[in-house]
Structure 1
Amino acid sequence: MQRSTLHLRNGDTSVVLDLTTDGLPAIVHWGTDLGDLTTAELDGLALAAVPQRVSGGIDVPARLTLLPQDAFGWQGTPGLDGHRAGLLFSSALALTSHTATEHSATFTARDDVAGLELLVELDVTPAGLLTQRLTLTNLADTPFELGALAPTFPLPATATEILDTTGRHLRERSPQRRDLTVGIHLRESRKGRPGADASLLLAAGERGFGFESGLVHAVHVAWSGNHRLAAERTVTAESFLQASELLLAGELVLAPGESYTTPLAMGSWGEGLNELAGRFHTEVRGRAVHPTRPRPVTLNTWEAVYFDHDLATLTALAERAARVGVERFVLDDGWFLGRRDDTAGLGDWYVDADVWPEGLDPLISTVRNLGMEFGLWFEPEMVNPDSDLARAHPDWLLQPAGRLPVPARQQQVLNLAIPEAFDYILTRIDDLLSTYDIAYIKWDHNRDLLGAGDARTGRVVVHEHTLALYRLLDELKVRHPGLEIESCASGGARVDLGILERTDRIWTSDCIDPIERLDNQRYTGLLLPPELMGAHISGPRSHSTHRSHDLSLRAGIAFFHHLGIEWDISRLTDAEEAELTRWVGAHKAVRDLAHTGRVVHADLPDESMDLRGVVAADGSRALFTITQRTTSANYPTGRLHLPGLDPLRSYTVRLAEPFDAVPGPGQSPLLWAQDGVTTTGRALATAGLQAPILYPEELLLIDVRAL
């Protein structure tokens, strides 16, 4: 039987679709570039994927299509769930037309009985990502209640193991693995934001896949509200991933003629997680909104002063910050009306005259005269019940009919979907940005959404609230060109490529303990390149874990990322100031490399050590950190290999600034670290280097340069 097929190619990725299917087309290959294929070869590939009818099964074997539907025999999770007052619940959307280019395609499908039309937009991007966006339109004259609309990505038969992350406040992005067996593995966020415990992405690959090897695919949904990620395997050996918005009961009812468009679902793949993450990084860096100027070294005042806003103290902090090389000074929580602790004031976005009798001008003038930008903390979506805003407009708070949700951090949530509430927040922030020389906003979001209903209607409004947030951020950017915004949400609880279309970095975690940050930054980095990940140098003793670390570890773990300081540096000794200045200067000298290069992680047999680095796009230079997490059973440990280098080039390897010697308890010199060593990229990736002897929780930075 002759088949109709499409072959989309871009970024070393091929996607082959079989259009000779019931309903929507089926993807029969997503992954490595298959090269130029003839029509006969494409048809043969599609024909080879058609399943047989089995004993006890349906007469026409169902296919995993772009929108699997039970009307065509699909018995796994459908791509569409919805109904008209309990009727017409089983859609039969069938392909009516399509258009295609070399790397993209659109498909239109209709179900005249159900009164629905679907548009599917597929694109294989220059980075090699497969993106999907679905739009469902109600063609009938009665409402259609939508429960789910889920872009679906097929997995190869080799995908037998799942990787995702979990976590909590102060410990986001903890990895977890399990077998991909028959059934569904579901990760959801019902908290109105992606959440600390929800997964940044969902990956499935060959058993034992790591950062350097093993075919692996993953999906991410670019959405800042409730979301759903799923991996499923059927008894007929179909395996797939889904990435969609999670819609709550009655949240989205399409009126006649109305449409719903899913958030962008993004799929990546690679031979190992380094390659998979690299595709996401290339995609993110290629956006028109991606920051292009060097990421300013930032000092944030929170862990230095908390709510103690005293002009003399903050002036001393700013002066010391400028001396060590800080380029942006951010005043955190505590500057606005009635805000002496975290129990009151949220929503009253006016400078508190009791604390700042002359306004913020004296501090901002000092900061600007010292050559730094000024930034200010907001939490615009939150309201303390003890605030003038809550007392004046209790109906602006998200709530089901008749009762406020359980409080969290003495906070409730402002319903930005109410035009008056939206306008109030826009006006207050706009006024402050117009009055003061503010270049940066730290935009916080410190509680989950519960009972997220509109007090006027009683209906769920997470979807509408999220879209209103996007409009608010977009409008502020239009009114204040050049304004940069950080997405912070109890640390790293709102990290997604929807919010990052409108913001310029994320706060990776409220925990700045460098050992905790090793995994956090590694797994956040599956999606984001380091320049978008705020990573600050903490004080000697971590505020969240109470562990103490040397400056070299605290600075070294943050070194590759958007560097900052979260520490009262006004009381540093001269020696401490000199050391911190040296680290800040070393970062500035290499941030162009760190913020444009390929991030690599080594899979080491000895888990007491961590090795990661960044390699220039042209392979000419690399930087690596070696971190001794714990003591090892081996003493000394064995060799370490350096991944990601050009195997055909020769490199010189030496200690990187600011190191001039190997720390730790070494009993004899480490010869390669004394004067450097020169060998090939292939040798460094295979034979490797003798690991240094380090104390637990020590770090070494090494510089690799091509001859």
Structure 2
Amino acid sequence: MTRIERFTGAAADGTPITLIYAEQDAAVRPDAAVAFALAFPGDDLPRFVHWGKPVAAPETLLSQVDALKPQRVSGALDETAWPSILPTQSESWIGQKRFEVRRDGVELFPCFTVTDIATALDARPALDVTQAVDAPESTPAEARVTTPAVTVDTPVVTVTAEDAELGVRIVWTAELLHGGLVRQRATVTDTTDAAAGALEIGRVELGFPLPAVATEILTTTGHHLRERSPQRQPLTVGRFEKVSMAGRPDFDASLLLTAGVPGFGFEHGEAYAVHVGWSGNSVLSAERQPYTTGLIGGGEVLFGGEVILSSGPAYTTPWVYGATGDGLNQIAARFHTYLRDRHPELASKPRPVILNTWEAVYFQHDYDTLKALADKAVESGVERFVVDDGWFGSRRDDTSGLGDWQISSAVWPEGPKSLKALADYVHGKGMEFGLWFEPEMINPDSDTYRAHPEWTLKPTLDRLPMQGRSQQVLDLTNPEAYAYIYGCMDRLVGELGIDYIKWDHNKLVTEAVSPRTGRPAVHAQTLAVYRIFHDLREAHPGLEIESCSSGGGRVDLGILEFASRIWVSDCVDPVERADIQRYTSLLVPPCMMGEHVGASPAHSTQRATSQEMRMATAFFGHMGIEWNLLKEPAEALAELGEWTAEFKKHRAWFAVDACVHADTPDPAVRLDGMVKPDGSAAFYRFTQLTTGQTYPAAPVRLPGLDPDAVYRVQPLHLDLDLAALGLGNGQSTLGWWTADGVLMTGRALATYGLRPPSLHPAQAVLFTAVRQ
């Protein structure tokens, strides 16, 4: 059941205790059942005394205060640290500062007293994917899945505490979301009058308790064209942190910081993960001290003077999300559930197959070429045609024109070959029309910059930050600059009938000082970006926006509150994409991940791969094409059309399916899958990245199925050239690799697996498992 309850009692020393217990309704998604409990000793800030599966007798958690509170130890303070939801030195916390405020430049040391505890069950819309069904046969195949909208009660705890003498108040909120995520944030208020001096916010870092068994950390690292590369290390005594200071999470960002038992994987292992839902500067951290419970969490990173409460009523932190589970697949499912609930259009509207023009024509725009490309796109099954960078101002390369959001008359003369004519032609072919923007950036070589150099973030009036891609950052905290950008975009969306915006962000945000205030402005800039996303979607119902940032440089739950999709990476080489997509899916469901079929050799790596490999890699996500179809032979286009048609048969289910990955001991292979919510069917992809440790390939397990059901596992035949993949190769074939496949139980498939075909490197095959 969904509930939130309050219990009272006393500790062994007589201290009164209030306990708040929150539990999420397991009936909506049984495997997502989660509960947490907060204990308030006296009027202290609360401690998490439980975070995990629901408890049969939650009132017994009152005893957790005595059971978990550490005893005093020699050589330390009179009380050993037992971290609250926001530990300070007043409760003997001597780790990294997690709450830092200053008044007139002098640091304060608050001791918070709880003044109010409020609880509520907040009814919110959600999608019950466990009840997803096929619509009547008369419905087109690509839209047959119906997912009922439901109302789910969300337990909410709100705690008010303050240090009246220092004039600082916090309001801390925790929510237990549908699917099992727990999220928390805090609002800080200055309760003094102006004469007391301004209160500056330095740091508010929120966290969750970390059990002693969680001694291994998983994060991701990377760079442009190689985002989300996994790395593991022990969590020892001390502090580990991943800091993002580029005004965006950036390529090296770890979408999740996960700590768990040694060797935890996708399919198993107690693990705890956190994510900061913020698109500006941030930190993820895990910290363990010799004296006390570990913490895992994070928050926004602020520059000095960036948030001063004399200039505003309060400061509210980003949401910090926490997920726990038995393996990464379960943790990822919690984030996927949340994003599906935020974006019901993912389930109600099948994801249109996209063609993006970037790697097809780059900056070489002309009406006749793009019209011909649109014709080829329709023949290949494309439903959304996106014109990328190069349509505006003097933008013939990446050195000029950015910021001049007016259609280039040199490329698009008025009349029958205008950009409006192309948009109308695309719409006339039954496709949606999309357009590329980079609203936050500006080239110094642009009319807009020459007219308004004061619209640029810069450390001094006379010095610009170091450039990147010949760009600077537009100061969207300036109302005039904001109005100009929003006005240009709003007008073009209306005039051209734009259905989709590819929103890019290509420069690292450094030395980001607003000339209007003379203060750092990353925080306010991030809020301004959210506002444009929100206002455009409100003004143009049905408009979808993609978050791109040199590929995967801005992927977080802050931007995904508004964006319907992310561009995973500028690298569409399927070998590189295998892990980029796999580890991005820890946070983002595949239906929100742009996964495109590109050219061979790949433009970014010059690696040649088969068309089958490229299409199989793009099959589970939001499928698209990044390829000049005008230069491809008829056979390649026919094969592409077959794959897009096959994708359309299943994409509505992919939007609600559970994304699973297998733990394969051989680093040369990957096994990824999409499983229907009721476990009745699944798609799996086996990928051979390089030559493997075993020859022939070792059996791979198929996670996510009903252990007691019988499944028929069979290859998905798309007229594959088996010899080219390595399946023929003059050797004997697999006994089950036939149209009839093989019958096995879900338990056998998850325990023993089955042997995949031995493939050449850089090849992939798809197969299905259907409950009998």
TM range (shorter): over 0.9
CA contact (8 A) 1:250 1:460 kept: yes
Q: Supply the distance in 2 between the matched residues of 1:101 and 1:657 (Cα, whole angstroms).
A: 52
Matched, 1:507 2:571: no
Matched, 1:668 2:732: yes
Match of 1:78 in 2: 97
Match of 2:53 in 1: 32
| Equivalent runs, 1:62-73 vs 2, <5 Å | 62-73=81-92
Instruction: For residue 475 of structure 1, report the CA deviation from its aligned partner.
Output: 1.2
CA contact (8 A) 1:23 1:72 kept: no
Match of 2:769 in 1: 704
Match of 1:107 in 2: 159
Matched, 1:93 2:93: no
Q: Supply the distance in 2 between the matched residues of 1:545 and 1:67 (Cα, whole angstroms).
A: 46
Per-residue CA distance 1:226-284 (angstroms, 9 max, x = gap): 11111100111421112211111111111188211111111111100000101111111
Matched, 1:377 2:398: no
| Equivalent runs, 1:512-531 vs 2, <5 Å | 512-531=572-591
Match of 2:746 in 1: 681
Match of 1:473 in 2: 533
Superposition TM-score, scaled by structure 2 size: 0.90
Q: Matched residue of 2:342: which SS? A: coil
Q: Matched residue of 1:162: which SS? A: strand
Match of 1:314 in 2: 370
Counterpart amino acid of residue 351 in structure 1 = I
Matched, 1:132 2:146: no
From 268, 272, 277, the counterpart of 1:222: 277
| Equivalent runs, 1:13-28 vs 2, <5 Å | 13-20=34-41, 23-28=44-49
Match of 1:300 in 2: 356
Q: Matched residue of 1:252: which SS? A: coil
Instruction: For residue 35 of structure 1, report the CA deviation from its aligned partner.
Output: 2.7
Match of 2:241 in 1: 186
Counterpart amino acid of residue 436 in structure 2 = W
Match of 1:399 in 2: 458
From 70, 74, 93, the counterpart of 1:55: 74
Q: Matched residue of 1:576: which SS? A: helix
Structure 1 residues 214-223 or 71-80, which shifts more?
71-80
Match of 1:176 in 2: 231
Q: Supply the distance in 2 between the matched residues of 1:519 and 1:573 (Cα, whole angstroms).
A: 30
Match of 1:539 in 2: 599
CA contact (8 A) 2:351 2:622 kept: yes
| Equivalent runs, 1:584-595 vs 2, <5 Å | 584-595=644-655
CA contact (8 A) 2:270 2:327 kept: yes
Per-residue CA distance 1:108-166 (angstroms, 9 max, x = gap): 10101110111111111121111101011100122101101122111111110111111
Q: Supply the distance in 2 between the matched residues of 1:590 and 1:288 (Cα, whole angstroms).
A: 19
CA contact (8 A) 1:21 1:63 kept: no
CA contact (8 A) 1:137 1:259 kept: yes
Instruction: For residue 346 of structure 1, report the CA deviation from its aligned partner.
Output: 0.2
Instruction: For residue 432 of structure 1, report the CA deviation from its aligned partner.
Output: 0.9
Match of 1:116 in 2: 168
Per-residue CA distance 1:67-110 (angstroms, 9 max, x = gap): 10111211112331011124351111121110224732111101
Counterpart amino acid of residue 286 in structure 1 = D
Q: Supply the distance in 1 between the matched residues of 2:513 and 2:563 (Cα, whole angstroms).
A: 26
Matched, 1:608 2:639: no
Q: Matched residue of 1:316: which SS? A: helix
Q: Matched residue of 2:671: which SS? A: strand
Per-residue CA distance 1:672-697 (angstroms, 9 max, x = gap): 11121112111111121112111011
Match of 1:368 in 2: 427
Instruction: For residue 661 of structure 1, report the CA deviation from its aligned partner.
Output: 7.3
Structure 1 residues 11-20 or 491-500, which shifts more?
11-20
Q: Supply the distance in 1 between the matched residues of 2:297 and 2:73 (Cα, whole angstroms).
A: 26
Q: Supply the distance in 1 between the matched residues of 2:734 and 2:114 (Cα, whole angstroms).
A: 66
Superposition TM-score, scaled by structure 1 size: 0.98
Per-residue CA distance 1:640-686 (angstroms, 9 max, x = gap): 11111000111101011425675314411211111211121111111
Q: Supply the distance in 2 between the matched residues of 1:473 and 1:275 (Cα, whole angstroms).
A: 30
Per-residue CA distance 1:470-521 (angstroms, 9 max, x = gap): 1111111111111111000010001111111111100000000001111111
From 198, 203, 210, the counterpart of 2:265: 210
Root-mean-square deviation (CA, aligned residues, Å) is: 1.4
CA contact (8 A) 2:710 2:745 kept: yes
Instruction: For residue 290 of structure 1, report the CA deviation from its aligned partner.
Output: 5.1
Counterpart amino acid of residue 241 in structure 2 = L
Q: Supply the distance in 2 between the matched residues of 1:705 and 1:9 (Cα, whole angstroms).
A: 34
Matched, 1:348 2:411: no
Percent of paired sites with the same residue:
48
CA 152–98 in structure 1, closer or farther in 2 if over 3 Å, else same: same
Counterpart amino acid of residue 200 in structure 1 = L
Q: Matched residue of 1:267: which SS? A: strand
Match of 1:4 in 2: 18
Unaligned segments of structure 1, at least 5 residues: none
Give the paired residue count.
705
From 193, 217, 224, the counterpart of 1:162: 217
Q: Supply the distance in 2 between the matched residues of 1:126 and 1:373 (Cα, whole angstroms).
A: 33
Q: Matched residue of 1:668: which SS? A: coil
Q: Supply the distance in 1 between the matched residues of 2:376 and 2:308 (Cα, whole angstroms).
A: 56
Q: Matched residue of 1:517: which SS? A: helix
Match of 1:654 in 2: 714
From 379, 382, 401, the counterpart of 1:323: 379
Counterpart amino acid of residue 381 in structure 1 = E
Structure 1 residues 355-364 or 647-656, which shifts more?
355-364
Counterpart amino acid of residue 108 in structure 1 = T
Q: Supply the distance in 2 between the matched residues of 1:428 and 1:575 (Cα, whole angstroms).
A: 42
Instruction: For residue 62 of structure 1, report the CA deviation from its aligned partner.
Output: 2.2
CA 256–91 in structure 1, closer or farther in 2 if over 3 Å, else same: farther
CA contact (8 A) 2:113 2:161 kept: yes
Counterpart amino acid of residue 303 in structure 1 = E
Q: Matched residue of 1:117: which SS? A: strand
Matched, 1:693 2:745: no
